[in-house]
Structure 1
Amino acid sequence: MKHPGPLSGVRVVDLTAMVMGPYCTQIMADMGADVVKIEPPAGDNTRYISVGPEPGMGGVFVNVNRGKRSVVLDLRSDEGVAALRELIADADVFVHSMRATAIAHLGFGYDEVAALNPSIVYTNCYGYGRGGPDSNLTAYDDTIQAECGLPSVQEQLTGESGYVGTIIADKVAGLTALYATIMALFHRERTGEGQEVEVAMFETMAAFMLVEHGNGAMFTPPLGPAVYPRVVAPNRKPYRTKDGRIAALVYNDKQWSAFVDAVKPPWAGEHFATLAQRAARIDEVYRLLGDTFLERTTQEWLDLLRSHDIPAAPVRTLDELFENPHLEEVGFFEEVESPYGTVRFPGPPAWFSRTPGRISGPAPRLGADTDEIIDDLRVAAAVRPVDAAAVRPVDAAAVRPVDAAAVRHEDTAAVRFDNIERDA
């Protein structure tokens, strides 16, 4: 039973894999939507790419597919196609992460889906948008980071080109697909009109990077290069203290004045008095602050800076997040019982006073919900007219549950539903 979150009553047919699309639909599931995840017989590749309690239940998959239902369909069979068409007929949202040519080849392009369900919100999750020459290129987080300039920015910061230590392109694009889908649902709520939505990783990350880095290059003629100098200053990094490291930002004039009055560094003269002056020499400011922070312990700095309302924080590891007192106090983590053990999930970060989101269940084993959902389709077909030309009868034998432990994820006999590897 889904919980009464803000998307309660919304049904999503999820034909995505890897992270971008599943992250989008995972948040929808947390917010109460009924998300039906369609998987090929081999399953979503992320089932197998990280540690997990049993085969096919890797940690990445378990997190971005929590609260969903899994149905295995072979979309190269008439029966699998018929079942998906029936699911689409009753859905509010259809999300996929296949290339445009692949989804069209299967017969589930926007026009075909809209013919089955005119009010549906149809979201394409692409690597590159359809309107450009790169639309058929494969897309990974690493290659999109490179395309959007992230390694170049890292090189300015550290002296060496590199990726950031998270799959930022997948996640930012997933969030963008989420808000775009919700906007289309809002429009439908007002007008009854469904529509097609397109979100591409490259375009998303280009927009994301240029929020601050567009800077002088946005003007005609350009007033400077496309870069925001403060965030690429080589000395912008956590400061060393007597016993560790600390993150601190002595930024605006009020914070600077309080810091100077409390610490009295000998180098902090009138030439650093205003934000504009410090911005013009920001790397020098960071270097001098770095020398000063070596004089006290991390806790001494935390006490002093926070007493003057200057942003400061200890440098934590990812493992420490699971024991963070603030996160514990706000109930950030939720423990969910599953057939494969207890899982402690990071919960939804958004709070609603009337329709709170929550994790409605664990990630499903491969094909765990196939029988239930196919039975529901049969019942629905028995109580409403069905266009026989459009929807073929469902053969349960063709869409039966699959034993994930018995299926090799390298199997290419079935269509892959991601934006990276496809056989269609």
Structure 2
Amino acid sequence: MGPLAGLRILDLTSVLMGPYATQVLGEMGADVIKVEAPDGDVTRQIGPQRNPGMGPVFLNANRGKRSVAMDLKAPGAAQALLRLAKTADVLVTNVRPRAMARLGLGPEALAEANPRLIQAALVGFDQQGPYADRPAYDDLIQGAAGIPHAFERSGRAPAYIPTAAADRIVGLAAVNAILAAVIERERSGLGQRVEIPMFETMAAMVMGDHMGGLVYDPPHGPSGYPRHLSPDRRPYATADGWICALVYTDAHWRRFFAAIGRPEMPDADARYATFPARMANINLVYAELSAILQTRTTEDWLALFQEADIPAMPMHTFESLLEDPHLAATGFFRREEHPTEGPILGMAVPARFSRTPAAPDRPAPALGRDGETVLAEAGFSADEIAALAEAGALRRPA
């Protein structure tokens, strides 16, 4: 029983941003009811699959949920969803607001069905601005928020971070906003609409680091955080591989130079002596560090950095990460038995709670697996459920 046990989430999200947010809530104990289109969430089709519709991206964004497959455009479906909303604490959607309104599921209809309902809308852009109706995907938002430009400023070709960074970061922002609304409702007794825009969330994250001199009016220096934009801020090549090291504070640099037999360096070269001096010469400093680290093996450097108490980690591959000794000791990756997919490798909830441990109590569900059960819990009779199925509003599991 996680810390959110007793909280019911009606999840009308698809792809990754919304499903990741609701998975986090489900892993902490919320009862998450995922309402999918009859063909299912598109992420079911991504990656290698043992069974159709159960791909790895879906399995890792939908743990702890129950699945109801509904065609919200079919007769009776919107009314059925409003009845489900009466039993929920939170409704989460990344369907564009105008599309929700066309279905008869706009904010007013939902609030009338359940005045205590928190309506969380994950949108591409703040709905008060001119981009309100534009489609939004992770790649587009990364570009608009300046992430490819940061690569360009560091001397490389513009690029996206090769993971769905915007989807997952905004998903976590949605979790924060939803839980804040839940806390407020405990005081007021009233639900409200919460809007979490991708563009603004990512712009705030990127510019929090890179506003630089633009934060002042008029500007007082250039934009960008020089250390982050240094071309040598990257994994360093060693004699036999790669290493991730951060020689950062004055004490780190003195211990580093002492460990490699050059203790005089910080006093002999003022560019290495203080934090401001290193920031002013960061490209030179990192280039020199890069050259030094090529002279020894990764194992040698890891041992030296540990002895000198300087932050360093190996540069893992996706495969070697599974064998990391720390993750093995904490049980982060764990083999589980999925009811339809057989043995799979799952991941633990990173947060630890002393009294109410968080863990997904359900595997990612087959499409429509729980539809009849969820509707029956909401008070639908067997005849009403059969009628919804007959009208094409409810898809029963194969």
* Structure 1 residues 59 and 374: alpha-carbon distance in aligned structure 2, compared to 1, 3 A threshold: same
Q: How much has 1:403 moved relative to structure 2?
A: 5.5
Q: How much has 1:228 moved relative to structure 2?
A: 0.5
In the alignment, is residue 7 of structure 1 matched against residue 11 of structure 2? Answer: no
Partner of 1:185: 182
Structure 1: how far apart are the matches of 2:395 and 2:370?
A: 8
Structure 2: how far apart are the matches of 1:267 and 1:290?
A: 16
Aligned residue runs from structure 1 range 377-416, under 5 A? 377-378=378-379, 395-397=388-390, 398-402=392-396
Q: Is the contact between residue 26 and residue 67 of structure 1 (CA under 8 Å) also seen in structure 2?
A: yes
Structure 1: how far apart are the matches of 2:293 and 2:378?
A: 65
Residue identity in the other structure for 1:275: F
Taking structure 2 as the reference length, what is the TM-score of the superposition? 0.94
Aligned residue runs from structure 1 range 322-337, under 5 A? 322-337=322-337
Partner of 2:372: 371
* Structure 1 residues 118 and 288: alpha-carbon distance in aligned structure 2, compared to 1, 3 A threshold: same
Partner of 1:198: 195
Partner of 1:136: 133
Structure 2: how far apart are the matches of 1:372 and 1:336?
A: 24
Structure 1: how far apart are the matches of 2:334 and 2:132?
A: 39
Q: Is the contact between residue 371 and residue 401 of structure 1 (CA under 8 Å) also seen in structure 2?
A: no
Aligned residue runs from structure 1 range 129-168, under 5 A? 129-168=126-165
Three-state SS of the structure 2 residue aligned to 1:242 is coil
Structure 2: how far apart are the matches of 1:158 and 1:346?
A: 36
Three-state SS of the structure 1 residue aligned to 2:122 is strand
Q: How much has 1:300 moved relative to structure 2?
A: 1.1
Three-state SS of the structure 2 residue aligned to 1:78 is coil
Residue identity in the other structure for 2:23: Q
In the alignment, is residue 84 of structure 1 matched against residue 81 of structure 2? Answer: yes
Q: Is the contact between residue 88 and residue 94 of structure 1 (CA under 8 Å) also seen in structure 2?
A: yes
Residue identity in the other structure for 2:46: I
Q: How much has 1:396 moved relative to structure 2?
A: 4.2
Partner of 1:270: 269
Structure 1: how far apart are the matches of 2:79 and 2:169?
A: 33
Structure 1: how far apart are the matches of 2:104 and 2:195?
A: 18
Partner of 1:106: 103
Aligned residue runs from structure 1 range 244-393, under 5 A? 244-265=241-262, 269-271=268-270, 272-338=272-338, 339-378=340-379
Structure 2: how far apart are the matches of 1:209 and 1:239?
A: 24
Q: Is the contact between residue 80 and residue 394 of structure 1 (CA under 8 Å) also seen in structure 2?
A: no
Q: How much has 1:335 moved relative to structure 2?
A: 3.1
* Structure 1 residues 379 and 146: alpha-carbon distance in aligned structure 2, compared to 1, 3 A threshold: closer
**Greater CA deviation, 328-337 or 98-107?**
328-337
Q: How much has 1:191 moved relative to structure 2?
A: 2.3
Partner of 1:25: 22
Q: Is the contact between residue 169 and residue 205 of structure 1 (CA under 8 Å) also seen in structure 2?
A: yes
Structure 2: how far apart are the matches of 1:253 and 1:126?
A: 44
Partner of 1:411: none
Three-state SS of the structure 2 residue aligned to 1:84 is helix
Q: How much has 1:50 moved relative to structure 2?
A: 1.9
Q: Is the contact between residue 374 and residue 394 of structure 1 (CA under 8 Å) also seen in structure 2?
A: no
Q: Is the contact between residue 75 and residue 393 of structure 2 (CA under 8 Å) also seen in structure 1?
A: no
Structure 2: how far apart are the matches of 1:69 and 1:218?
A: 46
Structure 2: how far apart are the matches of 1:267 and 1:288?
A: 12
Residue identity in the other structure for 1:395: L
Q: Is the contact between residue 376 and residue 382 of structure 2 (CA under 8 Å) also seen in structure 1?
A: no
Q: Is the contact between residue 74 and residue 393 of structure 2 (CA under 8 Å) also seen in structure 1?
A: no
Q: Is the contact between residue 4 and residue 28 of structure 2 (CA under 8 Å) also seen in structure 1?
A: yes
Q: How much has 1:83 moved relative to structure 2?
A: 1.7
Structure 1: how far apart are the matches of 2:385 and 2:318?
A: 50
Per-residue CA deviations over 1:27-51 (Å, capped at 9, x if unaligned) read 0110011100001111111111222
Partner of 2:222: 225
Structure with the larger RCO, 1 or 2 (CA within 8 Å, 6+ apart): 1
Q: How much has 1:78 moved relative to structure 2?
A: 2.7
Q: How much has 1:293 moved relative to structure 2?
A: 1.0
Residue identity in the other structure for 2:312: A
* Structure 1 residues 322 and 170: alpha-carbon distance in aligned structure 2, compared to 1, 3 A threshold: same
* Structure 1 residues 197 and 176: alpha-carbon distance in aligned structure 2, compared to 1, 3 A threshold: same
**Greater CA deviation, 297-306 or 327-336?**
327-336
Q: Is the contact between residue 305 and residue 312 of structure 1 (CA under 8 Å) also seen in structure 2?
A: yes
- Equivalent residue pairs, number: 393
In the alignment, is residue 42 of structure 1 matched against residue 43 of structure 2? Answer: no
Three-state SS of the structure 2 residue aligned to 1:38 is strand
Three-state SS of the structure 2 residue aligned to 1:366 is coil
Q: Is the contact between residue 79 and residue 393 of structure 1 (CA under 8 Å) also seen in structure 2?
A: no
Structure 2: how far apart are the matches of 1:36 and 1:380?
A: 19
Q: How much has 1:393 moved relative to structure 2?
A: 10
Structure 1: how far apart are the matches of 2:102 and 2:88?
A: 21
Residue identity in the other structure for 1:188: R
Partner of 2:238: 241
Structure 2: how far apart are the matches of 1:393 and 1:108?
A: 23
Residue identity in the other structure for 2:336: V
Structure 2: how far apart are the matches of 1:392 and 1:53?
A: 31
Structure 1: how far apart are the matches of 2:14 and 2:33?
A: 13
Q: How much has 1:307 moved relative to structure 2?
A: 1.0
Structure 1: how far apart are the matches of 2:385 and 2:78?
A: 8
Specify which of 188, 193, 208 is matched with residue 211 of structure 1: 208
